[in-house]
Amino acid sequence: MSPTSGYHLVDGISMLHQQEQDYNPWFEEQYSATAEPWNYSRRGGELFRHAHTIELLRRFCPHPSSLLELGCSQGLMTAQLVPFTKELFASDVSPSAVKICKRKCDPLAAQHNCSMHYYVTTTPGLPFADDSFEVVTLCDGMIGWWFSEEQKQAALKDTYRVLRKGGYVMFTDYATPDVFDSYIQLIQNSELSVVSVSYLYDRPWYLLESVVKKLPGKALLSPIVASPKVAKLLHKAGGMVGTAAARHILIIARKE
Ligand SMILES: C[S@@+](CC[C@H](N)C(=O)[O-])C[C@H]1O[C@@H](n2cnc3c(N)ncnc32)[C@H](O)[C@@H]1O
């Protein structure tokens, strides 16, 4: 699969020429200033979210022949996608993040016979031909990227364009319950068909994390915060409360 013109390879990563880039610079600033801006690898709630997202996606598409991950960050979720995917395109607007993602995923991809491609790019403006991918993921995600309504609409059109007929898009986003319905509507009003809506009941986990941060013995308690098993238990407990305990919505949509 070859990208549209304007992209060139730098150390194995496809990117636009510098002067043509028009991405939100805030994200690159975070990645170049901090080793791991959101500390996801030490936060059980996020680790559980990744595992849960992939498990859900695999119910619809167990072994995607080609998957595009938008917003791959430093490759934490990408690494978990490698074993299930034949061809994986990891992309982010931050060149520093994609570099780390590549370092993390290349050795794994060699073990699992997965063909990896790395891009500094975003949607709208994806440099891929129509009908290229069986799965596209936008995980934390359109809300977190501070897109305007127009950008969201354009991103949905572009994502639909690069998706194969019968393919799936996985959306996840951090949000409060008052936003969930409008998010569902946004996807329903696009050309995609919504096939699954679910929630992560992760408010209890975020509460735990914020309480632990304030405690004097927080270092001793950090393994609890880092544990995806604890996060899973709290998600199960939160499920008894319902969407009031949810801070993530997960939507799977299909190109009919
Ligand atoms: C909060 S992190 C989420 C990372 C990962 N997808 C996850 O679910 O844990 C958001 C990532 O999206 C990237 N990003 C921000 N705006 C983007 C855009 N318009 N297109 C693609 N990625 C973007 C950021 O650089 C950052 O790595």
Q: Does 241 fall in a domain?
A: yes
Q: Does 36 fall in a domain?
A: yes
Q: pLDDT tens-digit profile of 83-140?
A: 999 999 999 999 999 999 999 999 999 999 999 999 999 999 999 999 999 999 999 9
Q: For residue 127, report the distance from its CA to the centre of ligand 1, in Å.
A: 17
Count of the separate structural domains present in the chain = 1
Q: For residue 141, report the distance from its CA to the centre of ligand 1, in Å.
A: 6
One-letter amino acid for residue 148 of the chain:
S
CATH number, position 215: 3.40.50.150
Q: Does 124 fall in a domain?
A: yes
Q: For residue 215, report the distance from its CA to the centre of ligand 1, in Å.
A: 30
Q: pLDDT tens-digit profile of 216-251?
A: 888 889 999 999 999 999 999 999 999 999 999 999
Q: pLDDT tens-digit profile of 61-76?
A: 999 999 999 999 999 9
Q: Which atom of ligand 1 approaches the CA of 147 most closely?
A: 19
Q: pLDDT tens-digit profile of 41-60?
A: 999 999 999 999 999 999 99
**Domain range for residue 112?**
8-254
Q: For residue 25, report the distance from its CA to the centre of ligand 1, in Å.
A: 12
Rounded to the nearest 10 degrees, the angle between the axes of helix 203-214 and helix 218-226 is 160
| CA nearest ligand 1 atom 11, residue | 71
- Predicted confidence at residue 3, as pLDDT, reads 61
Half-sphere exposure in the Cβ direction for 171 (13 Å, CA) = 28
Q: Does 1 fall in a domain?
A: no
pLDDT bucket at 2, cuts 50 / 70 / 90: low
Q: Does 107 fall in a domain?
A: yes
Is residue 81 scored above 90 in pLDDT?
yes
pLDDT bucket at 22, cuts 50 / 70 / 90: low
| CA nearest ligand 1 atom 14, residue | 71
Question: Hey, which of 31, 92, 118 would you mutate to test ligand 1's pocket, going by the most ligand atoms within 8 Å of its Cβ?
Answer: 92
Q: pLDDT tens-digit profile of 157-216?
A: 999 999 999 999 999 999 999 999 999 999 999 999 999 999 999 999 999 999 999 998
Question: Hey, which of 27, 98, 169 would you mutate to test ligand 1's pocket, going by the most ligand atoms within 8 Å of its Cβ?
Answer: 27
Is residue 19 scored above 70 in pLDDT?
no
User: What tokens does 255 get?
Assistant: 């190109």
Q: Does 66 fall in a domain?
A: yes
Question: Hey, which of 73, 81, 143, 152 would you mutate to test ligand 1's pocket, going by the most ligand atoms within 8 Å of its Cβ?
Answer: 73
Measured from CB, residues less than 6 Å from any atom of ligand 1 are 24, 27, 38, 40, 70-71, 73, 77, 92-94, 97, 122, 139-140, 144-145
- Predicted confidence at residue 217, as pLDDT, reads 82
